[in-house]
Amino acid sequence: MTRPSQRDVGRQENPNVDEEIASLLKAIEQERVPDRLTELAIELQNALIQKRHCKPES
């Protein structure tokens, strides 16, 4: 017999949790991202790309 995952148990206990999470995610997606944060994210992405290209392949 298999055990339900924590995710399944959470849904069974409170089905409104998924709706609440979806609502929070939607609100987060609608928030304006400060320009400085966007610039830093782009810099981080470029640094990670550079590091990946400089890494010797095994």
Among 12-16, 21-25, 42-46, 54-58, the least confident range: 54-58
Residues 1, 8: contact at Cβ < 8 Å? no
pTM: 0.47
3-state DSSP assignment of residue 4? coil
In this predicted model, which residue has the larger pLDDT, 12 or 36?
36
CA distance 34 to 42: 13
Q: Give per-residue pLDDT as tens, 27-56.
A: 999 999 999 999 999 999 999 999 999 876
Sign of CA dihedral 20, 26, 32, 38: positive
Contacts of 12 (CB under 8 A, 6+ apart): 4
CA distance 23 to 41: 25
